[in-house]
A and B are shown apart, each in its own frame.
Chain A
């Protein structure tokens, strides 16, 4: 009797969860399907769900029309560059606060967090003017700098929460054995910190890849990453849905895969350790 009730419960919740999951995922699925249709079929009513003439011509058109590869490379440089530089600055800082905390460490951490609370639009005007005067508008350097600064607090926080979980006794044991700080870093700390470093790297790549305030406002063509490339499809030009879908699929596919890998760290990173 009890067993039957459990089976029924599993069946009901399974059906419910799959239905909800499918509904939430549907817009993405629909976009991918549309990207393989011809423009006429993409616009057709009633829509065809699977039985249409599958074609990959939209993907070729997207590349010809607006040089997808150029913008994809920009996205890789901007997201990768800003994340790596942020890590280089954040690792020593987080290491220092996790292993040699002082009375003020907590205040410093909270202050760093508060810089992330500043709405970007509040400093849009000065940043735009400074960027203009230094010739940084529509340059990769300019976007790497701004995204690096914008994500630095999150990087430091994530690393700090990971570093704090490394048992201190191990470091002390290494120190007793006469290890210098350099050796301590390379042989003891690094291997234990790699999982935390990897998830910090992943989450920040995702955030930088999808950042769409500074990229839209500070770049137009040369340095434009995929967010801006997609925005160029906002003015309709004849039948363009299949092309829009193909461009969108290309823009989100790499980061969706990375995102699925890092989903378990997502909660921790985005709540600054407040929910684990």
Chain B
């Protein structure tokens, strides 16, 4: 029923946002593609030379790439697995009649609001320090040898920190989904004599399938580019043990100033993220119609 005038107005109001996002998406991406075909190192002055796909060959066959791809996959996979495996029981627990539930909720959600540099440094120094950290003290009180987290299991240490940051997110989403589950359906199942386990497997879990998918996709987008936690704790080391793709590209761009190779790496990261994004956009889009 909208008049032509309001349609024109609507379009005018939408234009600035669309134009800005279009520029924001196209210009840097086009430049990245352009740079990725150049031999261009900021340390060599301003000499730029077209080298075709040479940078991609260099980046993709660099042993550092395979190592960092593996680290990225381990990091993303482990954090996803841990946040969901811990998030489901935690959400189920918080969905029970708990005295002081809103206070418990506040405690559980808190880590999500802590900036990455703070959580990484607090975990590294106060908790995981091999001599005076709290974990070392606990280990010693049980007569065990404290773990030197950042030397013996650096990637696992990063995984623990990132899991702590994202567990609240997974829990909160699963809890929100649980609370929208039809109570009557569960009660009916109980009346029919279903045991708690079968209620969980046949009613609760299928209901959680969608929120779990959403958690996986959204976390993946963010976890693919974990950066600050590595930057302030290990700097990618020891060796390449905690270098993920994001950190590898950063170090090629802003430590080695190799613009060409870093751009090629950037495009590889864009492709990986786009594969995930494709599925997420489809799921969200389906919801938009409903």
**Chain A residues with CB under 8 A of B164:** 24, 27
Q: Which residue of B is nearest A116, CB measured?
A: B221
Whether the pair B98, A259 counts as a contact (CB closer than 8 A) is no
Q: Is the CB of A112 within 8 A of B21?
A: yes
Shortest distance between the CB of A29 and any CB in chain B (Å): 9
| Contact bitstring A85-108, B, C-beta under 8 A = 1, else 0 | 000011011011101101000101
* Contact status B224-A119, CB under 8 Å: yes
The number of chain B residues with a CB under 8 A from chain A is: 107
Q: B270 on the interface (CB 8 Å rule)? A: yes
The residues in A between 3 and 41 inclusive whose CB is less than 8 angstroms from any CB of B are 6, 9-10, 13-14, 16-18, 20-22, 24-25, 27-28, 30-31, 34
Q: Are A21 and B263 in contact, CB atoms less than 8 angstroms apart? A: no
B104 in contact (CB, < 8 A): yes
Contact of A115 among B25, B90, B228, B249 (CB under 8 A): B25
Contact B96 A9 (CB under 8 A): yes
**Cβ of B74 < 8 Å from any Cβ of A?**
no
Q: Give the number of residues in A that approach B within 8 Å (Cβ atoms).
A: 97
* Distance (whole angstroms) from the CB of B108 to the closest CB of chain A: 5
Using known A-B contacts A17-B94, A272-B284, determine if residue A212 contacts B116 with beta carbons closer than 8 Å.
yes
- In chain A, what residue has the closest Cβ to B175? A267
Query: Does B177 sit within 8 A of A, measured CB to CB?
Result: yes
Q: Judge whether B113 and A210 touch: CB under 8 Å.
A: yes
Rounded to whole Å, the gap between the CB of A195 and the closest CB of chain B is: 18
Q: Which of A58-66, A186-194, A230-238 contacts B (4 or more CB under 8 A)?
A: A230-238
Q: Considering the chains assembled together, what is the distance between the CA atoms of A109 and B249 in angstroms?
A: 30
Contacts of B198 in A (CB 8 A): none
Inter-chain CA distance A252–B120, complex, in Å, is: 13
In chain A, what residue has the closest Cβ to B235? A234
Give every chain B residue within 8 A of A80 (Cβ-Cβ). none
| A153 to B270 alpha-carbon distance, docked (Å) | 18
Residue A174, interface by CB 8 Å: no
Nearest chain B CB to A4 CB, angstrom units: 14
Contact across chains for A93 and B118 when beta carbons are under 8 A apart: no
A99 to B1, alpha carbons, bound, how many Å?
A: 11
A43, A113, A114: the one within 8 Å of B132 (CB) = A43
Say whether, besides A27-B122, A227-B116, A275-B173, A109 and B253 are in contact (CB < 8 Å): no
CB of A204, distance to nearest CB on chain B (Å): 13
Contact among B113, B116, B137, B214 with A271 in the assembled complex (CB-CB below 8 Å): B214
Number of A-B contacts (CB under 8 A): 310
A196 smallest CB distance to B (angstroms) = 17
Cβ B115 vs Cβ A119 within 8 A: no
Shortest beta-carbon distance from A188 to chain B in Å: 15
Residues of chain A lying within 8 A (CB to CB) of residue B233:
234
Among the 9-residue stretches B11-19, B59-67, B181-189, the one with 4 or more Cβ atoms under 8 Å from chain A is B11-19
Q: From residue B9, how far is it (CB to closest CB) to chain A in Å?
A: 7
With A97-B14, A126-B28, A248-B122 as contacts: A28 and B253 at CB distance below 8 Å: no
Does A122 contact B122, Cβ atoms closer than 8 Å?
Answer: no
CB-CB < 8 A to B79: which residues of A? none
The reply to whether B35 and A115 contact each other, CB–CB distance below 8 Å, is: no
On chain A, the residues within 8 Å of B172 by CB distance are: 263, 266-267
State the B residues within 8 Å of A (CB): 2, 6-7, 9-11, 13-14, 16-18, 20-21, 24-25, 27-29, 31-32, 35, 90, 93-94, 96-101, 103-119, 121-123, 125-127, 131-132, 134, 136-137, 140-141, 164, 167-169, 172-173, 176-177, 180, 210-211, 214, 218, 221, 224-225, 227-228, 231-233, 245-246, 249-250, 253-254, 259, 262-263, 266-267, 269-270, 272-274, 276-277, 280-281, 283-285, 287-289
Q: 24 interchain pairs (CB within 8 A)? A: A14-B100, A20-B108, A21-B108, A96-B9, A106-B288, A106-B289, A108-B18, A113-B281, A117-B273, A118-B273, A122-B249, A122-B270, A124-B250, A126-B32, A130-B31, A152-B21, A213-B225, A231-B232, A244-B126, A248-B122, A252-B114, A260-B106, A271-B173, A274-B283
